[in-house]
């Protein structure tokens, strides 16, 4: 069984890191990574280091998509690919038509829609992609929440395999400073970072500190709020950082006060690193945080309850340690790249057996 992972990439971002994490735990001999060009050395070199064969389509002419379909079709035949696994709307569109010309099965893992940040051209592509996915042999959304956006696809062609974090890419967990709190993410309204800053001011434990790792349009507003609350000496705005995981590893508590999430990567990373986690009681976070077992849940938009949760963690360190340990085990067993690779392997075999 030969599987090609096809990524139409513009950098080493979430979907690309996701593919590398999956490839690390699949049998490299069965896999080939295909990209449109060789312009992404980090992605290609990452795959090569794992023993995965790497191919790229090369330059295309004025009819870029048509040329790409033709080149990918020829590559699939040359590599004797049985299953083409696509990632992203461009890969879906090119991959579907190329696979249909060769007889390869085609499955897609959508990695999210750009509803809040897309122009007319991207919107058109994504609309066509959602229509085209109805014709794939299997569509594999990363959560039940995301599956709800895939209307019209026959239920028997949809298999949810939860998003994951590659534990092998995380720094080894070490005891963090329990009084240092971390937030990782974009500084946008739906993350409600202002609730976390206000919670810091309300918490009884006044020696706690907060590191905010990430950037976004609300940074100035949040900096002003920090100053008004007299917290400038206790809140550090670190911006976007490549070493975010090392920074997270030095803290003891991670808080995610969002209004909406699917299965948040930053929360999985924090849990995988055995941080104590606090999150809002919304579907995408409830999948990971089981209140009092793997972390603490608080209502959306309630700084007072966040403050109470922080105080609870600091006043019950033994129980906090147990929650952190259970959180790590939950990620290992159900939300790790290793666990996902096993499930994807079973799916590939199921599709091949169904072909008969």
Q: Are residues 176 and 102 in the same domain?
A: no
* Shared domain check, 205 and 70: no
| DSSP character at residue 295 | B
pLDDT the model gives residue 119: 66
Instruction: Give the span between the Cα atoms of 128 and 118, in whole angstroms.
Output: 14
Same domain, 29 and 149: yes
Q: Determine the Cα–Cα distance for residues 79 and 157; give it in Å rounded to an integer.
A: 26
What six digits make up the tokens of 122? 């991207």
User: What integer pLDDT is reported at residue 145 of this predicted model?
Assistant: 87
Are 148 and 95 in a shared domain? yes
Beta strands of the chain (E only): which ranges?
3-7, 31-35, 53-56, 83-87, 105-108, 138-139, 177-184, 209-213, 235-239, 251-256, 276-280, 296-298
- Same domain for 348 and 268: no
Helix (H, G, I), strand (E, B) or coil at 185: coil
pLDDT in tens, 246-295: 999 999 999 999 999 989 999 999 999 999 999 999 999 999 999 999 99
**Whether pLDDT at 118 is above 80:** no
- Cα 222 to chain centroid, rounded: 25
**If pLDDT is split at 50, 70 and 90, which confidence band does 17 have?**
confident
Q: Which of these, 238, 23, 264, 216, lies nearest to 116 by C-alpha position?
A: 216
Q: Same structural domain for residues 193 and 244?
A: yes
> How much is the average pLDDT of 167-181?
92
Would you tell me how many other CB atoms lie within 10 Å of the CB of residue 326? 16
Contact (Cβ atoms closer than 8 angstroms) between residue 277 and residue 261: no
Cross-strand bridge partners of residue 4: 32, 84
Task: Let me know: does 34 contact 24? Beta carbons within 8 Å.
Answer: no
3-class SS of residue 36: coil
Look at the chain and report how many structural domains it folds into: 2
Axis crossing angle, helix 219-228 with helix 193-202, rounded to the nearest 10: 10
Three-state DSSP class for 140? Answer: coil
Q: Residue 307: which CATH number?
A: 3.40.50.2000
Strand, coil or helix: 277: strand
Confidence of residue 39 (pLDDT cuts 50, 70, 90): confident
The pLDDT value given to residue 308 = 98
Q: How far is residue 29's CA from residue 163's CA, in Å, rounded to a whole number?
A: 24
Q: Which domain holds residue 203?
A: 167-334
Statement to judge: residues 171 and 133 lie in one domain: no
Residue 173 and residue 298 in one domain: yes
Q: What percent of the chain has pLDDT over 70?
A: 95
Cα atoms in the Cβ-side hemisphere of radius 13 Å centred on 111: 20
What is the Cα–Cα distance from 214 to 336, expressed in whole angstroms? 24
242 and 117 co-located in one domain: no
Is the pLDDT at 316 greater than 60, yes or no? yes
pLDDT of residue 112: 73
Predicted TM-score (pTM) of this structure? 0.86
- Using one digit for the tens of pLDDT, what is the confidence trace for 197-243? 999 999 999 999 999 999 999 999 999 999 999 999 999 999 999 89
Does residue 274 sit in the same domain as residue 222? yes
- 324 & 350 share domain: no
14 lies in the same domain as 92: yes
- Return the beta strands (E) in 118-267 as ranges: 138-139, 177-184, 209-213, 235-239, 251-256
Tokens of 285: 């976070």
């Amino acid at each position: 069984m030969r599987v090609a992972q096809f990524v139409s990439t513009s950098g080493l971002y979430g979907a690309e890191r996701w593919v590398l994490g999956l490839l690390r735990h699949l049998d490299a001999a069965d896999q080939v990574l295909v990209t449109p060009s060789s312009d992404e050395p980090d992605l290609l070199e990452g795959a090569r280091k794992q023993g995965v064969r790497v191919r790229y389509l090369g330059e295309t002419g004025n009819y870029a998509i048509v040329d790409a379909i033709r080149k990918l079709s020829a590559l699939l035949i040359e590599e004797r690919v049985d299953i083409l696994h696509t990632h992203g709307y461009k890969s879906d569109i090119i991959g579907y038509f190329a696979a249909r010309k060769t007889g390869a099965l085609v499955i897609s893992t959508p990695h999210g829609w750009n509803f809040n940040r897309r122009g007319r051209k991207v919107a058109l592509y994504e609309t066509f992609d959602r229509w085209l996915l109805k014709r794939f042999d299997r569509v594999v959304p990363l959560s039940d929440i995301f599956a709800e956006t895939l209307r019209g696809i026959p239920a028997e062609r949809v298999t949810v395999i939860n998003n994951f974090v590659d534990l092998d890419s995380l720094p080894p967990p070490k005891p963090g400073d329990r009084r240092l709190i971390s937030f990782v993410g974009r500084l946008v309204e739906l993350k409600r970072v202002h609730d976390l800053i206000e919670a810091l001011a309300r918490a009884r434990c006044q020696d706690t500190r907060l590191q905010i790792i990430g950037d976004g349009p609300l940074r100035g507003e949040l900096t002003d709020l920090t100053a008004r609350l007299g917290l400038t000496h206790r809140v550090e705005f670190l911006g976007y950082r490549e070493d975010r995981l090392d920074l997270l590893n030095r803290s003891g508590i991670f808080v995610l006060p969002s209004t909406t999430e699917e299965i948040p990567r930053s929360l999985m990373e924090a849990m995988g690193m055995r941080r104590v986690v606090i999150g809002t009681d919304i579907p995408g976070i409830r999948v990971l945080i089981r209140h009092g077992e793997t972390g603490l849940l608080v209502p959306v938009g309630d700084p007072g309850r966040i403050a109470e949760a922080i105080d609870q963690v600091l006043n019950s360190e033994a129980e906090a340690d147990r929650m952190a340990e259970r959180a790590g085990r939950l990620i290992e067993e159900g939300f790790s790249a290793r666990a996902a690779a096993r499930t994807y392997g079973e799916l590939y075999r199921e599709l091949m057996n169904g072909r008969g």
